[in-house]
Chains A and B, each alone.
Chain A
Amino acid sequence: METRDFHVIAETGIHARPATLLVQAASKFNADVKLTYKDKSVNLKSIMGVMSLGVGQNADVTISADGDDEKEAIEALADTMKKEGLSD
């Protein structure tokens, strides 16, 4: 399993368009991908799950991937987080 921590800098947190793009990016991989915030984990391939976490600005979150393409998944998601201005 691969994991990586992120500090959310976007003023609106993980909402709206960036959330959709993150889910779309995660859905491209076979690995199980989870987003963890405040001890609660959700399926990162589920837009409803991601949105229901209510991740705001300055939140510390963890993304984990488990599966044959877990390394690529984490890289791609870190890339999306940065490109969409969610984390630095």
Chain B
Amino acid sequence: MAKELKGIAASDGVAIAKAYMLVDPDLSFDKKTIDDPDAEIKRLHDALDASKSELELIKSKASENLGEEEAEVFEAHITILSDPELIGNIEDKIKNDTVNAEQALKDVTDGFIETFEAMTDNQYMQERAGDIRDVTKRVMSHLLGVKLPNPALIDSEVVVVAHDLTPSDTAQLDRKYVKGFITDIGGRTSHSAIMSRTLEIPAVVGSEKATTAIESGDTVIIDGMHGIAIVDPSDDQVAEYEQMEKDFVAQKAEWEKLRDEKTFSKDNVHFDLAANIGTPDDIKGVLDNGAEAVGLFRSEFLYMDASELPSEDDQFEAYKKVVEGMNGKQVVVRTMDIGGDKQLPYLPLPEEMNPFLGYRAIRISLDRTDLFRTQLRALLRASAYGKLAIMFPMIATVAEFKKAKAIFEDEKQKMVKAGTKIGDDIQVGMMMEIPAAAMIADKLAKYVDFFSIGTNDLIQYSFAADRGNEKVSYLYQPYNPSLLRLIKKTIDASHAEGKWTGMCGEMAGDQTAVPILMGLGLDEFSMSATSILKTRSLMKRLDTNEMKKLAEKAVTEAETNEDVIKLVHDAIK
């Protein structure tokens, strides 16, 4: 009998394939006294060897499909498995306590994990505790003869089912075989959802019960447009969804024709449609989808994928690659936005009660100016290779912006003096994501070259609602007049000073928000690359004068989020 699961539509498209459960098996065991320690030690070594050869295989698969960097973690795991101290301690435990290998493995690794986790001033070591845990799980699975999921080894078409997908899980997924995925938790802006759109894999997140309702090998349909999954579908349902997939592909082909066009409204007003990217590798998707610029390059991925602070040269190479790849089209790079939910192993930050309201982004950059200056120098050098713009995240006050800009100017002058080649016209702007800043947008507009509205944070801070907390997710209200007023204030303030405003949050590609944003006069819309052609097709059909009237109503007459949705639907049908 077919079962239907409802979740959040995370990434467009339809997938039909067998379920692959990315879920840990039961690894519980009983403590036993043994009489033949040598035989037990042999069991241990067999499990270690089996784990090692498995890791070798995973490592080679991972470096082949995903790159050397993703494969490195497995190299570290292999080194742990060969550790003479670790193995010696486990052997001693088996001999001296005459316990089974499972118990000895657990006791010894628990000891190491405890020691590493106790190093609270050293986040790098705390995270290595996670590596030991991973390795222990693998050896334990071989001792117990159960199978651990190895997503890197998937070699047939599947739909991945998981409680949540972490960055290290997604790093192991091969786009060729993973046709779709569904998770228990997460929202539209969670890591797994953003990743699914970048990889263009249909996905449903936040289904609450995918891992309990689906079993390994079940046929699953993922409908990423409507946030629905069907387990064990009937033949009719399969046929229906195959048709839907065909229509979607046809629709995409239709949009595809707009790829090389610029974006004009029905009455011939031009808007810039740009893409958000996380790494230089995303450029291909950006160009394939006909973006007119990169509106947000999240530079923190350079920091997060590394095991140490990225050097000026490493950063320069990455920025240069993007700027060159875009061939003269503008690339807006956001300086380091670490903190909040993004932590760095090699830059331990103190634990905070409210990390989203704490020491993060520009607040760190203005404190650790050594890191900030390194990044600015790398950016300045890259500016010689194309059209680069820089923006600072989490600016709350005029003073913060002035301070950051002054450091930028200082580095720029030094480079000019030293004769280093840099771009002629590097625009410097700021993210608009704190309500206090939006309220003084008219003051800030005097100093910036542009604003870029970050809606995910602006919504979270305006409604005082944690975007990761499902209990308060009803307060994620992108169309609420309160938010629209902040956006209008920002856009109007920039235009009064002859500056421009972009938007680089999820909202910029939201089909309900786009008509209003056009009406409010937003200049640049930056979104997931895969949303660009759909949005261009929508904008072609809309008249800016009508959208102005619609936006005016939404800002002045509407009382609620729902009122605005209705206004838009009535206006554009």
List the interface of chain A (C-beta within 8 A of B).
10-12, 15-17, 20, 23-24, 27, 42-43, 45-49, 51-52, 54
Contact = CB atoms under 8 A, between A and B. Distances in A.
Interface string B299-342: 00000000111000000000000000000000000000000000
Size category of the binding interface on chain B: 20 to 34
Contacts of A16: 124, 307-308, 345-346
Contacts of A27: 82
Interface in B260-311: 307-309
Contacts, number: 57
A54 B308 contact: no
Contacts of A17: 72, 307-308
Interface stretch (B29-37, B111-119, B224-232, B434-442): B111-119
A12 B309 contact: yes
26 contacts: A12-B308, A12-B346, A16-B308, A16-B345, A17-B307, A20-B75, A20-B76, A23-B79, A24-B79, A42-B85, A43-B84, A46-B83, A46-B84, A47-B76, A47-B79, A47-B83, A48-B80, A48-B83, A48-B86, A49-B83, A49-B85, A51-B125, A52-B112, A52-B115, A52-B125, A54-B122
Contacts of B188: none
A49 B82 CA distance: 12
B311 to A, nearest CB: 9
B128 interface: yes
Interface of B: 72, 75-76, 79-80, 82-86, 112, 115-116, 119, 122, 124-125, 128, 132, 307-309, 345-346
Contacts of B79: 20, 23-24, 47
The DSSP consensus for interface residues of chain B is helix
A61 to B, nearest CB: 17
Contact of B307 (A15, A46, A48): A15
B84 A45 contact: yes
A51 B85 contact: no
Contact of A46 (B85, B119, B128, B308): B85
B86 A12 contact: no
B119 A54 contact: yes
Contact of B116 (A12, A24, A45, A52): A52
Given A16-B307, A47-B80, A51-B125, 14 more contacts: A11-B309, A17-B307, A20-B76, A23-B79, A43-B85, A45-B84, A46-B84, A46-B85, A47-B79, A47-B83, A48-B83, A48-B85, A48-B132, A54-B119
